[in-house]
Amino acid sequence: MENQVKTLADAIRYFSDEQVCIDTVAGLKWLNGPECPKCQAKADRQHWLKNQRRWQCRDCGKQFSVKVGTIFEDSPIGLDKWLTAMWLLANCKNDISSYELARDIGITQKSAWFVLHRLREAMRDEHIRKFGFGGPVESDEAFIGPNPAKMHKDRKGKIQARDGLKGGMVGKTAVHGMLDRELRQVRAKVLPNIERANLQNAILKNVTPFAKVYTDEAGCYEGLSKNYIHEIVNHSQEYVRGQVHTNGIENFWSLLKRTLRGTYVAVEPFHLDQYLSEQVFRFNNRATSDNPLTDADRFALAVSQVKGRRLTYAELTGKTGEISV
């Protein structure tokens, strides 16, 4: 695929054949051939039903398609549209809105919104390795939300009464991020607030003990030196002191906010983690001088992560008890 698909135009032509789509997803989903989702029988026990474009297990008789057990499951939308949407989302610099995607691939806006969220679910990072083994880690917090000065006073009053926030924090959602300078990787997550316990627990979970951690002068980082080599840059006096700064993670916040304001305009806090996953995926898999990833590489990585990431509409809209993780 890599030699044949280099641009969006190539991807549209390449994935216009349904069998090519099935072969592409199957090859990235099952490294050793298709496995039965019911009895886990291996590839040599699966029979391809050509007319139905699915497999049948010789052991248990289960019929299954390549969509089973993935973000595509139970979707009537063809894989050609799914894979084109994946290519767009994985490689767009400033993201793509549901309205734009709906026009581009010929589905409704509501369906496009659901498709985009399921694709973001596939982009979510599992965070297997901790940060800080090689170089220093930058840690910083940000607040995502509307400008309180431009909000209607009635809406502003309701939000203040609900959240107990005042001033410039009205309607804002706290997010925390870390950048490993050695790996050039970012992790970011929504937090209920930036109290010391929440923020430092997030660092302890993701950064190996005794690593170098650079932060600003915020009080929520007090006591971090018990577990790390903690150095602070006081932004009221300076932004850089030698190697001590948080400019890398602040660059990520700048990219995120530009995307949210310019493309999505308004994002509910309930869904913000999904948008963070999307931005983190593209940032961590960007092309660099020592890691020249192509659009095809990012696309293949995203498709390889569709397995076991099913997201239903009820879960997405909060109509069930909790969202699966």
Per-residue pLDDT of 187-204, as tens digits, reads 999 998 888 999 999 999
Query: Which pLDDT belongs to residue 46?
Result: 96
Q: How far is CA 148 from CA 165, 267, 285, in A?
A: 11, 15, 34
Pairing of strands 229-232, 185-190: unpaired
CATH of the domain at 189: 3.30.420.10
Query: Which pLDDT belongs to residue 184?
Result: 93
Query: Which pLDDT belongs to residue 186?
Result: 96
How many domains, the chain? 1
The answer as to whether 98 is a domain residue is: no
The answer as to whether 174 is a domain residue is: yes
In a 3-state reduction of DSSP, which class is residue 105?
helix
Q: How far is CA 180 from CA 82, 133, 214, 256, in A?
A: 32, 9, 10, 18
The answer as to whether 19 is a domain residue is: no
Residue ranges making up the domain that contains 176: 137-267
The answer as to whether 122 is a domain residue is: no
Query: Which pLDDT belongs to residue 303?
Result: 94
At 323, is the pLDDT very low, low, confident or very high (cuts 50, 70, 90)? very low
The answer as to whether 249 is a domain residue is: yes
Q: How far is it, in rounded angstroms, from Cα 285 to Cα 305? A: 14
Question: Whose CA is closest to 104, among 76, 79, 84, 75?
Answer: 84
Reported as a single tens digit per residue, the pLDDT across 45-96 is 999 999 999 999 999 999 999 999 999 999 999 999 999 999 999 999 888 9
At 156, is the pLDDT very low, low, confident or very high (cuts 50, 70, 90)? confident
The answer as to whether 15 is a domain residue is: no
pLDDT at 322 exceeding the cut of 60: no
Reported as a single tens digit per residue, the pLDDT across 99-151 is 999 999 999 999 999 999 999 999 998 877 899 998 999 999 998 887 777 77
